[in-house]
Amino acid sequence: MLTQMKKAQELGADLVEIRVDFLKNFSPRQNLEVLIKQSPLPTLITYRPKWEGGEYDGQESKRQEALRLAIELGSDFVDVELKVAQGFFSSIQGKKPEKVKIIVSSHNYESTPSIEEIGELVARIQATGADIVKIATTALDITDNARMFHVLVHSQVPMIGLVMGERGLMSRILTAKYGGFLTFGSIEAGIVSAPGQPTIKDLLDLYNLRLIGSDTKIHGVIGNPIGHSKSPHLYNAAFKSVGFNGIYLPLLVDNVANYISTYSSPDFVGYSYTIPHKEDGLKCCDEVDPIAQAIGAISCMIRRPTDGKLMGYNVDYLGAIGAIEEALRGSNGTPPSVSPLAGKLFVVMGAGGAGKALAYGGYEKGARVVVANRTYEKAKELASKVGGQAMTLAELKDFHPEEGMILANTTSVGMKPRIEDTPLPKEALKHYSLVFDAIYTPKLTRLLREAQECGATIVYGTEMFINQAFVQFERFTGLPAPKQLIRDVLARNT
């Protein structure tokens, strides 16, 4: 524990919670003295019993004796559970060094009660004589956090208010915005004292906890699952680098409409949307741009500052099309006023979310679009909307009405772990002058490698991702994107 406390200090923690119930052989007098006196940081002693979700299973009187000892030894904070707080306070009879603060805690591992019930709990805890109120509940849905924020903001006493579990992550970060007394971070990923705890490193370096204040604007990526998303790394670093007072969170959302109606305050300002919520996101917008309307999905939502209306955009296509245009310009020197895609035969493989974005994007730029998809019906439907031709992937092998065509793969064929798969055989690639692959894991897919071998210019999927990040950053902040920084962060995190 002493080694870990040192580690916590090095990682940037302000104080350490010492969970003595996790010690295998705990002899209070000997161990507490060492732990409290030798800690490099202020200490919080917690001796959590089984009946409150902890590890201690022995006699209650011995446990409370150890807590009294921690007070006597001058631990900066001592945690006492609400269920026994009244008796505990009577037992110390006001004998407590001034600097020792008692946290009275209540844990709910099942759910998060109503605002009224949490408020009532705060009052009950306060009535025991607590210096600091601690309430931890469990998130069954991301909207549960809102009730904790409401109580935190209105609390007249110092309060720790956290919502446990994966869906409660935002409470552990935004507590800094809503005036929470502290938040817990783990020293190592996964070694947590309560479900959903982030690491100290993530709190400080990824979410920039120390920069969060009451006026920090909230952004995030709405999806399910969302834990793997690289977007928080990218946007938080970018916000910090330009001094923008914003935070960007992974938002594990089950029902978009519920999320949007719950977090309706002007502080919730911008979102990215990912699988499977792009279509539901569109339904929650007050206004939608024509491309997103045509695609039937949004990738970005902004709360308009002037009237609070929610604006939906689909910027997926901007990313990919921008990257393709850039590569084409580099190779043929088209003037900036004309899209180098105009008039080109543009073959899109796939007709899912990314396929639609690419097909509409190509159509917007004046390309002649061909949609090739495993399921012909979907190709036909999409092609009819962009005035193009439809075929199956099998038919595409023998399709080469002209040379120098542009190819975009938006199927998931060739994505990790099946990196030896490819959606189109190498022989067919010689008819293309440029090949783009939306897949970005791996960066160099078999399709791109073979296209390169056939002499085509290649455009990586990471370029699509990065370009749409530039666009979203500018929409979120109204500032030019720090492009090199975003590239560097992405390179470090993929």
Strand partners, 102: 78
Does the footprint of ligand NAP cover residue 378 (CB under 6 A)? Answer: yes
Of 31-39, 382-390, 460-468, 477-485, which segment contacts ligand NAP by CB under 6 A?
460-468
Contacts with ligand NAP, 303-342, as mask; x by CB under 6 A: -------------x--------------------------
Alpha-carbon gap, residue 313 to 484, rounded angstroms? 24
Alpha-carbon gap, residue 113 to 360, rounded angstroms? 46
User: From the CB of 272, what's the least distance to ligand NAP, in Å?
Assistant: 11
* Cβ–Cβ under 8 Å, residues 450 and 422: yes
User: From the CB of 355, what's the least distance to ligand NAP, in Å?
Assistant: 5
Q: How many residues bind ligand NAP (CB under 6 A)?
A: 23
Between the alpha carbon of residue 192 and those of residues 153, 157, 187, 196, 323, the distances in Å are: 26, 27, 8, 8, 42
Alpha-carbon gap, residue 103 to 455, rounded angstroms? 68
Of 2-10, 37-45, 68-76, 346-354, which segment contacts ligand NAP by CB under 6 A?
346-354
316 is catalytic: yes
Q: What is the DSSP letter of 206?
A: I
* Burial class for 178, CB neighbours closer than 10 Å (0-12, 13-18, 19+): buried
107 is catalytic: yes
Alpha-carbon gap, residue 338 to 329, rounded angstroms? 10
Between the alpha carbon of residue 387 and those of residues 129, 265, 368, the distances in Å are: 73, 42, 8
For ligand NAP, which is the closer residue by CB, 21 or 316? 316
Which residue among the candidates 177, 278, 344, 356 is catalytic per the annotation?
A: 278
User: From the CB of 339, what's the least distance to ligand NAP, in Å?
Assistant: 20
Single out the residue of 130, 169, 438, 459 in contact with ligand NAP (rule: CB under 6 A). 438
For ligand NAP, which is the closer residue by CB, 66 or 439? 439
Which residue among the candidates 107, 219, 344, 356 is catalytic per the annotation?
A: 107
For ligand NAP, which is the closer residue by CB, 119 or 352? 352
Alpha-carbon gap, residue 209 to 218, rounded angstroms? 13
Single out the residue of 244, 360, 432, 465 in contact with ligand NAP (rule: CB under 6 A). 465
Spatial neighbors of 374 by CB under 8 A, at least 6 apart, are: 392, 393, 411
101 is catalytic: no
Which residue among the candidates 277, 316, 344, 437 is catalytic per the annotation?
A: 316
Alpha-carbon gap, residue 150 to 191, rounded angstroms? 29
For ligand NAP, which is the closer residue by CB, 67 or 341? 341
Does the footprint of ligand NAP cover residue 374 (CB under 6 A)? Answer: yes
For ligand NAP, which is the closer residue by CB, 106 or 409? 409
For ligand NAP, which is the closer residue by CB, 183 or 299? 299
Single out the residue of 354, 382, 456, 471 in contact with ligand NAP (rule: CB under 6 A). 354
**Which is it for the CA torsion 33, 37, 40, 43, positive or negative?**
positive
User: From the CB of 466, what's the least distance to ligand NAP, in Å?
Assistant: 8
Alpha-carbon gap, residue 15 to 23, rounded angstroms? 19
What tokens appear for 182 in the block?
């502290």
Q: Tell me how crowded residue 240 is: count the other CB atoms within 10 A of its CB.
A: 17
Spatial neighbors of 70 by CB under 8 A, at least 6 apart, are: 32, 36, 45, 47, 78
Alpha-carbon gap, residue 75 to 43, rounded angstroms? 6
Helix, coil or strand: residue 186:
strand
Single out the residue of 54, 168, 198, 353 in contact with ligand NAP (rule: CB under 6 A). 353
Q: Residues of 399-418 as b/e, b for ≥16 C-beta within 10 angstroms?
A: beeeeebbbbbbbebbbeee
Does the footprint of ligand NAP cover residue 355 (CB under 6 A)? Answer: yes
User: From the CB of 379, what's the least distance to ligand NAP, in Å?
Assistant: 8
Single out the residue of 49, 232, 361, 461 in contact with ligand NAP (rule: CB under 6 A). 461
Amino acid making up residue 372? A
Contacts with ligand NAP, 392-431, as mask; x by CB under 6 A: -x----------------xxxx-x----------------
Q: Which helix (H) or strand (E) holds 106?
A: strand 101-107
Of 127-135, 220-228, 383-391, 435-443, which segment contacts ligand NAP by CB under 6 A?
435-443
User: Residue with CB nearest ligand NAP?
Assistant: 352
User: From the CB of 423, what's the least distance to ligand NAP, in Å?
Assistant: 6
278 is catalytic: yes
Per CB under 6 A, residues contacting ligand NAP are 316, 350-355, 373-375, 378, 393, 410-413, 415, 438-440, 461, 464-465
Catalytic residues: 107, 134, 278, 316
